[in-house]
Structure formats: C-alpha cells, structure tokens
Structure 1
Amino acid sequence: MVLCGGKFAFPALQLLAYEKFICAIGIGKGNDTITDALERESEDSNIGFKSFPNKKSISEMRSWIDIVQPDYVFCISFPFLLPEAVLSYGQDKFINFHPGPLPQYRGSMPIFEVLKNQETETAICAHFMNSKFDEGNIIFNDPVTIEKGDTYGKLTVKLSERMAQVTLNMANMLQFASQIPSQPQEESLSCYYEKPELSDTYINWKRMTASEIISLINACNPWNNGADTTLQGEQVKIIVASLLEESHNNQSGTIVSFTDTVNIACVDSKQIAVEILSTDIGILTAKQFAELKSILAN
C-alpha cells in the first residue's frame, strides 16, 4: 500500500504499479483534480483507493488497512501524522520516504531548506515510521546531487523521478530479504524545520550575501513565486536572478543600474542581476520593470 500527498509520488506509483507491487493507494489532502485522476487510475488497475482529505479522516485508516491487509505501507509526502492506532497494524510495517537527509532536515519542506542553505547534496531517506514526524529508525539515505542553478521546481522533479527507483529498490529488498537493517537517528545532528513563513522567504539585504540571495530566490521558485523583497517602494517577488561579478559602492539593496537586467547591490560588494519579477501588475521581465519605473519617474 502507498500513502501519498499528490503529484510528487506519481512516478513512484506508476513504477510500483507496473512491477505489481501496489495493492492500494491512499491520498491525503490532494486537490480534486489529482484525487479524481488517481482514483480513476486505481479503478482501471483494480487497485484499492481511499482519500483522506483532513486529519479527522485518519480515524478511518486503520479499518481500511485491516480490510486491504498490505504486507507493508509506503508513505511518500503523506501530509498527516499516523497515530499509534494505525501504526500498531504491524511492527516495522510502515516506511516513509523523506525528500531530504535525516536527521539533519526534518520537516515538511526539506527541498526549500537544502537550497536556501546552499547544500551541494540532498537525499531521499527511507526510514521506519513512529508516532513522530521523521524520527523513526533510518534504513538508508540515498544521496542526490544538487546542481548549480537548481530551483525548488527542478530539484522537486529530480527527486520525484529518483523516488520511483528508490521505492522500487525498497520493495525488492522487502521481498527478498529476511530482515531490513536500520539504525536510530543521531539526535545530536537533528534539526526540524517548520513550514517557511514570510520571514524565511524575505531577502535581508543588510545581512545576506549575493550567493545567499540567489540561493533563496532559487529555493522560492516556483512554490512561493519567488523571494520576497521591496524594490523602488514596491513589494515584489524576484523569480529569476544570477550573480553579477561587478563590485559597487552602493548601499546594499539599492538598484545600481538598469540594463537587460535589474542590477542590485549586495552587502558583500557584489551584485545580483534580476531577470524576472512578480509584481502587482503581473510577472515582468527586468526590462519591462525598468521601463515601468522610468514611466512612473516621469
């Protein structure tokens, strides 16, 4: 059985279904379009299906699992914590696939955090589940390289595609191994990240270096429609920007020049070249934004 949260799990679901490993699918808090599509595919493939739209609905999960009687339950970005009443179905029967290395990146959005923190590598962590988020014994961390220029969207797609092979490998291990080795998480290395708030997505021009700002912008693209900031007195989101290796003598956060990009001074004497922004008017190229500000200046 696979419990999932939406599109991120689709490649894994497709591969596991093709290899005849799936007996049922449960989706938590998915939008109607995704839920309906998954239900239709499940019916066509003669696979059990159930939707868990909210926390209250989890009370129905144990009785459903008892009917389906899966050998194991895989969780891929399932949004709700499973209570002991569900986990007691079987010792080491529930395996979560976390899209970030554990125990260093616990929490609901490790993809955002690893990008913001300028990591060069992340992981898909397979671990047995307990009654706390992301704290069960680790089976393995499967490393994934973060390429220069990876955004939240690019890394999400990369991890989603890798997830398919990781879950298939896990299914094969369970089928042929008499015991799956695991080890407790090292709590001294653990860190839990809450879901990002505005303070986490806002550019601090006085403290953040140019490379840190670029990393934040990439971490916010596309889920937050860019990193939040103020330019020319207007609240905007910077969607795409690159590092500009040109020194300056301007106060950080001020616009140094308008070219094909909007070039902004940073605290480390470097600049970022903004290419695309989101404004109240809409999504604009840097050139369009520059032209707009010139018009307003007149």
Structure 2
Amino acid sequence: MRVILFTNSHWSIPLMIRLEEQKLLAGIVLTDFDHEANITIKAFAEAKEVPLQRVSREELKSDSFTTWLEELSPELGICLTFPYKIPEQVFTVPQYGIVNLHFGAFPEYGGADPLFWVLKNGERTATLSYQQMNEKIDGGPELMREQLSIFPGENYGLLGARLSQLAASSIERLFEKVTTPKTDDTGQAPVNLYKRPTQQELTIDWQNQTSDQIEALVNAANPVYGGAITYFRGAMIWILEVSPANVSNSALLGPGSIVHADQQNGVFVLCSDYRYLRLNIIKTPECILTGGKLAALGLKSGEKLGLNAVSSKQPKILV
C-alpha cells in the first residue's frame, strides 16, 4: 500500500517513520509554514530520499501539484493535522482516496482542534477517528475508530503524543478497512464543528468555573495555547499546570483568592466550588516559574487572580 502523507505537525512523525520503515511512504505533503515540526519532517524526507512537496493553500489546487501526485501513483492518502482543505481533484488521485485521522469522535467533535475541546469538556476517553474525505469538511463516512482512556491530569501535548503513537500502531487495520468493499456509504449525522478557542474561552473564570473545570482548561491549553489565561496585578499570565489540593484553616475569601503561598509548598487558590487548586507552573511575560518561586518573589495570601482583581496600589508587573 503506497501512501502519500499530508501533514503539518510533529504528531505525524511516528506514523511517518512506521510507513518509511515498511517502504510504504510514497511521498509527503507539507504546508508552507516554517516551524520546527516541518523543518524536522523535511530533514527526515531528505535523509530517507522520500519525495516531498511544500504547498500553499493555492498551490494545493494547481495542476502542477496534481501532476506531481499522479506521478507518485499513491494507493492511499492519509491526512494528519493538515490545515488546508484538500480539493476534489487531489483526493481522487489515490486509488482508495484520502483518509483523515482526526483526534476526536464524530459527530460530537469535528472541527479544527477537537483535542482542546475533548479535554476542556472533561471527557474521560479520547477517540482517534478515521474518516474517508470528501468535499465536505469532516463530512465523509467514518471507516473506524480507536480509543484511549485519558489519564487524570493529562494535558493536550501528552494526549496528542499518545494518539499519534496509536495512529502509527493501527495502520494495518486501516489498510484492511480501505480495501474492503463498502456496503454503506451514507455518511454520518451532522457534525459539530468546533472552532479554535478564543482568548475569552482560554481565560479562567474564577467566579463561575469549578476546580475541575479550571484544571480541565489548563490541561487543554498546555502547551499549544501557552496555558490558561488569568490576570494578576494587572498583568496577563498563563497557568500551565495545576493539581487539586486540600487547605485547612483558610480565611473566608472569594473565588480566585490566593489562600496560601510559600516557597516550600507553593501557591493555593480558591475556586467557585470552594475547592482548591495548587498552581504548579506559571508563565508570566518575563519567565516561566513554579508556584513556590512566585511566592518567594513576593506573592502573598489574600491577593486575587482575575480581571476584576486589580488594585491600583499593586505593581503592574510580576517579576
């Protein structure tokens, strides 16, 4: 099975390596974005002498790209984290079409970044869906799916890495599915197309979100969105990791209040459900640091996090 791989992310690397080891990788299609993952994939292709094309959104529609693809004679296309809509004249070139590997269950989690919403919504299971592509965004029939249990506290990056390994290990099962005659090609129910989160959706609402919801948001935003957003002393900061905590003898304070802070134990914050979270890793405009380090730099119990917690007497920077 000669495979052409469409990608834009390091999450495709385990699959790419497995296909190349089995001499099944006919070629790679990358976006024209310049980032670390694409540089790594390009270097791999050059070292292994795998044909590679970097394309813009418009170049993907060109006759020259279609001709290049036809000359490779792929039997199957696989799309993993490829952000451009693939035109019909492209996904009809491979004998068995192009299959999209999607990190979310259909029809609940369609759209550009399902993994963020799976984690933010507190799901206990992550799904890797294999969908035959057609002219509709996330609208083709589902061929198969694989699932993983989400570990407590697992973040976006770790879960994505495990799903990418699952994609590589299940490729033979996909080959069996695409070569089996289909008895039903009616597609699926209307898909819920989630968009990428806005700044507001990435911002912690201390007054209304529970400790579980805040932890889920923090995990969903790490690392791809730089963490969940909050405000402290007038500055935007990002929380990258939290953990549930027990606090005894805390003062009667409102949600978002820092109820304890010291260098040894770190920083503890009260949530709307009157449970507590320990802030393990925080990013400020100046640096990334632990909660204990932030306490050592002068953060005090009784201070508050959030947009409405700014005092004119407080300094406007953290470090």
TM-score under structure 2 length normalisation: 0.84
Q: 1:205 to 1:35 in 2, by over 3 A?
A: closer
Report which stretch shifted further, 129-138 or 284-293. 284-293
Pair 122,18 (structure 1): closer, same or farther in 2 beyond 3 Å: same
CA distance 1:34–1:242, shift in 2 (3 Å):
closer
Shift of 1:293: 2.8
Residue 164, structure 1, aligned to residue 168, structure 2: yes
Greater helix fraction, Structure 1 or Structure 2: 1
2:90 to 64, 68, 86: 86
Structure 1 unmatched runs, 5+: none
Partner of 2:303: none
Q: Which amino acid aligns with 1:202?
A: T
Q: How far did residue 267 of structure 1 move?
A: 0.8
Q: How does 1:28-67 map to 2 (within 5 A)?
A: 28-31=31-34, 33-52=36-55, 54-60=56-62, 61-67=65-71
- Which residue of structure 2 lines up, in the alignment, with residue 240 of structure 1? 241
- Deviation string 1:11-49 (CA, Å, 9 cap, x unpaired) is 001101111222111112443554444334334434321
In 2, Cα distance between equivalents of 1:66 and 1:244: 58
Residue aligned with 1:200, SS: coil
- Contact 2:91–2:134 (8 Å) recurs in 1: yes
Q: Structure 1 residues 226, 33: CA separation in 2 closer, same or farther (over 3 Å shift)?
A: closer
SS of 2:204 mapped into structure 1: coil
1:4 equivalent in structure 2: 7
Tell me the residue number matched to 1:25.
28
1:113 to 117, 128, 141: 117
Q: Which of 256, 261, 281 is matched with 1:258 structurally?
A: 261
Structure 2: gaps spanning 5 or more residues: 301-312
**Aligned equivalents of 2:235, 2:49: Cα separation in 1:** 54
Task: Report if the CA contact (8 A) 2:75-2:94 is conserved.
Answer: no
Q: Do the aligned residues in 2 keep the contact of 1:103 with 1:135 (CA within 8 Å)?
A: no
Looking at structure 2, the residues matched to 50 and 123 of structure 1 have their Cα atoms a distance apart, in angstroms, of 30
Percent of residue pairs identical: 25
Matched residue, 2:143:
139
Q: For the Cα contact (< 8 Å) 2:76–2:95, is it kept in 1? A: no
3-state SS of paired residue (1:23):
strand
Residue 213 (structure 1) shift? 0.3
- Cα 1:182–1:10, aligned 2, differ >3 Å: closer, same or farther? farther
Q: SS in structure 2 opposite 1:199?
A: coil
| Counterparts of residues 74-223 of structure 1 (less than 5 Å) | 74-89=78-93, 92-174=96-178, 177-180=179-182, 184-187=187-190, 190-223=191-224
Post-superposition CA distance 1:55-110 (Å, at most 9, x none): 11212332222222211111111111012232343675111111111111111211
Aligned equivalents of 2:61, 2:119: Cα separation in 1: 36
C-alpha distance in 2, partners of 1:97/1:294?
Answer: 45
Q: In structure 2, how many angstroms separate the alpha carbons of the residues matched to 1:182 and 1:111?
A: 28
Is residue 2:282 matched to residue 1:277?
yes
Q: 1:47 to 1:268 in 2, by over 3 A?
A: same
Contact 2:203 2:229 in 1 (8 A): yes
